[in-house]
Every structure is written in C-alpha cells, then in structure tokens.
C-alpha cells in the first residue's frame, strides 16, 4: 500500500524510490526541448528513471500548432488513448518528471487531472534532484501493456480566448519579465502581453535548488478570493503557476491553454508592453 497521498501533488525522490517497483505507479519522463524536438527522447534513451515511459510535449501532450496556438490541447479522448497506450489504468498513480524545472511535468500533471484522474504528482526537483540523491538511472525500457484508463469529469478549469476577453478576474502571465514587457521575444511573432495581466514568472515558484515552493510568494498580489486565469506562451509554464497556486492554498485557477501564441493570431486583439 502506498504511503503518499496525491493531494500533495508533489513527490520527493526518496518517496518515489521507495515505491518505484510498485505496479500501480506509472512514471513518465517528460523531457523536451522547444528548439530541438527530438532531444528529449534521445536523453531518455541515454538514461532515465527505472520503469519510466517517455512522453512528448509535441506528439502526446498537444495538438498540431496553428490558430489555437503553439501547443493547443488535444481532444480529451485522444489524450486518454495516449495514457492507455502507456499502460495507465483507472487506479494508476502517475508521476511526472523532466529536467526543465518541471514545466513539462506540470503540463502532464494538469492534463491528467483534466482527464479526470486525481492520482498524479510531479517529482519535485525533477531528474536533477533524483540524481543528486544518488538514485540510479537505467537505459532499459519495455513495452507497457495497454491500460484500461477511462475519462472522467475534469478536475481542472479551462477557458477559451473569448472568456479571457470578457474576464473580470485576475489574469496571470507565467513568462519571464522581459517577454512580458515585449523584450527579447524569441518564441512568438508578436511581443508583449494580454492587457491587464499580472507578471508572475513561473521561475519565482522555485527555490535555489529548483524545488517548487508552496509559500505562494509569487502571488502576493493575488487574493484567495480572486478568479484566476493562468496563461503563458503556449499553455506549458502556465500549468506550473497553477500547481504553485494550489500548493499555496488557492482554489483551482483556470488554464487558458492557447495563451499568448493563440492571442496574437488575431491582429485585432489588443497587446500591452508596459
């Protein structure tokens, strides 16, 4: 029987190591590089945590890029099929990790909950924390047996662009301060942010060792009563802010998955840089 509760949403390397052989655990390696789409899988092949399956942001956690942004959500049923293919059952405990401050692991964490499954946690500190704790890696991997996962009611909140345009609550942007202000934009064809948004860079959720903190210091201007919508460039780091807000005791914020990369697809939508 497992000793950790998924309400925690985070799991430590020591706890993961103690349960890693349990068949109820499904471990996902979410490593990805936005500029080199194959790198994550290459790194996985060179060494990963035992029993981990590789899952790709572009191929598994997103639909094709276009008018809905760079990483639009797939259909829920498409994602459920991905989980089944990787051996996820309706009672599985899912753990996600990467080596990018958990941003891709958080996208998977959010999507698993979007699929209605609450047993999911992020390995706090990612692969770096695992190797620093002297736990081993392996290069072997096996084909999982298909799982029986079925969609349930989403545990997440989600909004579309028209909801953002009419929103009266608090909009938070997870990108860096410079991109928020329209400087050093290296991902999208238009620089700036959605007017009225607060700048809450996801990097502020991390302590000096790269662990996700639960003190909410990134959100001191946000009241617990605020209706929060989280966005970023393409719906990835926005999920990091959602996890950090939940850890800090806030109600479930909504994800605007299209984020900045969808917002700017319509030139009539306003852009701010201050």
Whole-number average pLDDT of the chain = 95
CA distance 215 to 119: 23
Three-state DSSP class for residue 79: helix
Exactly one of 30, 106, 200, 232 is catalytic; name it.
232
Closest CA to 146 of 33, 26, 226: 26
User: Does 200 qualify as catalytic in the annotation?
Assistant: no
Q: Give residue-wise pLDDT tens across range 59-80.
A: 999 999 999 999 999 999 999 9
The full set of domain ranges for the chain reads 6-132, 157-263
Q: Give residue-wise pLDDT tens across range 101-131.
A: 999 999 999 999 999 999 999 999 999 999 9
What CATH number was assigned to the domain covering residues 157-263?
3.40.250.10
Beta-carbon contacts of 23 under 8 Å, excluding residues fewer than 6 positions away, are none
Same CATH topology for 6-132 and 157-263?
Answer: yes
The pLDDT value recorded for residue 146 is 96
The strand pair at 93-97 and 120-123 is best described as parallel
The torsion angles phi and psi of 234, rounded to 5 degrees, stand at: -150, 25
What CATH number was assigned to the domain covering residues 6-132?
3.40.250.10
């Amino acid at each position: 029987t497992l000793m950790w509760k998924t309400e925690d949403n985070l799991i430590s390397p020591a706890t993961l190591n103690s349960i890693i052989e349990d068949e109820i655990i499904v471990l996902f390696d979410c490593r990805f590089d936005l500029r080199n789409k194959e790198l994550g899988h290459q790194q996985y092949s060179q060494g990963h945590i035992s029993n981990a399956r590789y899952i790709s942001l572009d191929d598994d956690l997103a639909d094709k890029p276009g008018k809905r942004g760079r990483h639009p959500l797939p259909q829920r049923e498409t994602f459920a099929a991905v989980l089944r293919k990787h051996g996820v059952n309706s009672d599985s405990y899912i753990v996600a990790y990467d080596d990018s401050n958990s941003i891709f692991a958080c996208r998977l964490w959010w999507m698993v909950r979007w699929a209605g499954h609450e047993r999911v946690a992020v390995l706090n500190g990612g692969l770096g924390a695992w190797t620093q704790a002297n736990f081993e890696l392996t290069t072997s991997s096996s084909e999982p047996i298909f799982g029986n996962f079925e969609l349930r009611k989403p545990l997440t909140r989600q909004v579309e662009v028209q909801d953002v345009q009419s929103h009266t609550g608090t909009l938070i942007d997870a990108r860096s301060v410079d991109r928020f202000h329209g400087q050093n934009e290296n991902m999208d064809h238009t620089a700036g942010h959605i007017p009225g948004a607060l700048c809450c860079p996801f990097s502020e959720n991390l302590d000096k060792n790269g662990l996700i903190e639960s003190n909410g210091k990134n959100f001191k201007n946000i009241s617990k009563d605020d209706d929060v919508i989280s966005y970023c460039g393409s719906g990835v780091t926005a999920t990091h802010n959602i996890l950090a807000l939940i850890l800090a005791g806030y109600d479930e914020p909504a994800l605007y998955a299209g984020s900045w990369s969808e917002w700017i697809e319509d030139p009539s939508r306003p852009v701010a840089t201050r």
